[in-house]
Amino acid sequence: MSSSSLLVSPLLSFVTPPPGLDPHTDFRLSEIEGAAGLYSLQAEAEAETRMFVLDAGVYLPDYSPVISSEQSDALSITEAADAIVLVVVNPGEEATTVNLMAPIVVNALTGICAQVILDGQEWPLRAELGALAA
């Protein structure tokens, strides 16, 4: 897992639209000022379509998802160091959670990415961020 500062371009292209954001596949990754590793992922064609993501390498050092060879092949990732793992942030009134069951895996060299489902792994869909950082 590497840091997203290694991205060649802030433009990300999903191989298929992220769940709930169909038909969008092209997004701009913009760092939130004053919060290293926190980003806005905004659809290129529709600025109001966006979500927040965290660089797992910055905030979740113990998070080690395993993607299948089919998933890595679809993203042309041949070395783990070429993959950036982002997790979707869900701000809430009581707590902020992150989706560890379906991370966004990015090929840092090309910007091609996918939100992958981690079948057979015990990662939660809604992990409370404060509890993970403690």
Residue ranges making up the domain that contains 25: 4-133
Closest CA to 127 of 90, 79, 77, 74: 90
In the DSSP assignment, the letter for residue 56 is H
Closest CA to 132 of 98, 103, 105, 104: 98
- Owner of token pair 């079948």: 119
Element (H, E) at 71: helix 69-74
Instruction: Characterize the bridge pairing of strands 11-14 and 112-115.
Output: parallel
Round to whole Å and give the CA distance between 42 and 84: 18
pLDDT in tens, the chain (134 residues): 344 444 657 899 999 999 889 999 999 999 999 988 999 999 999 989 989 999 999 989 899 999 999 999 999 999 988 999 999 999 888 889 999 999 999 999 999 999 999 989 999 999 998 766 54
The pTM score is 0.89
CATH for 9 = 2.30.290.10
Round to whole Å and give the CA distance between 100 and 45: 27
Q: What total number of domains does the chain contain?
A: 1
